[in-house]
Amino acid sequence: MTTRPRRIGLFGGTFDPPHNAHVALASLALAELALDELRWIPTGQPWQKARRITPAAQREAMVRLAIVGEPRFMIERCEIKRSGPSFTLDTVRELRATRPGAEWFLIIGQDQYANLHTWRDWRELLALVTLAVANRPGVAAQPHPDVQAAAQHVVPLPMLDIASTDIRERVAAGQDISALVPAGVARYIEANHLYR
């Protein structure tokens, strides 16, 4: 009897903070892609972010609160532990070495898909993973022609229209965010005076 390869989803991001759309997308990916596990990967030093980000330990703590209750969700700390900028290809290479024979799915947003051609060694990355692209409501994904021409398998995933930027702005303005983030994340933000 042959067993099918383990199907592992990779869901990276700054998660500053993680919100309900992240959780909904990750849950949908579990079902749509028939994943055995989905690894949330908080970015260490995001090389494409100009703004100052919340310390990795606090972002990791918020992700832990956001994913509680789903045993197939787990945190992957490799980018937080790695010094220097976080490159997705380095992460995929590192994780593939630990689970040879697994099938890897990279879950990205439409904005990341549109900029994939700017990622380090993106052609090699596409050879190692299956892309699962989350489309924003009412907007078609527009990848760069070079990305579109490369061999790939794209799984469309719908995405709720919530952005971490909006949440940070709401907190700074003293507005309620309870409908936008998991309850544990809202409590953590309040207790740690984040985004003030």
Residue range 20-35, pLDDT digits in tens: 999 999 998 999 899 9
Q: Which residue did the predictor score with more confidence, 141 or 145?
A: 145
| pLDDT value at residue 86 | 80
Q: Is the pTM of this model over 0.85?
A: yes
User: Where do the DSSP E strands lie in 24-152?
Assistant: 37-42, 45-46, 73-75, 85-86, 103-109, 130-135
Q: What is the mean pLDDT of the chain?
A: 90
**Residue 48 Cα distances to 55, 111, 112, 181, angstroms:** 16, 12, 11, 24
**By percentage, how much of the chain surpasses pLDDT 70?**
91
Q: Is the pLDDT of residue 186 over 90?
A: yes
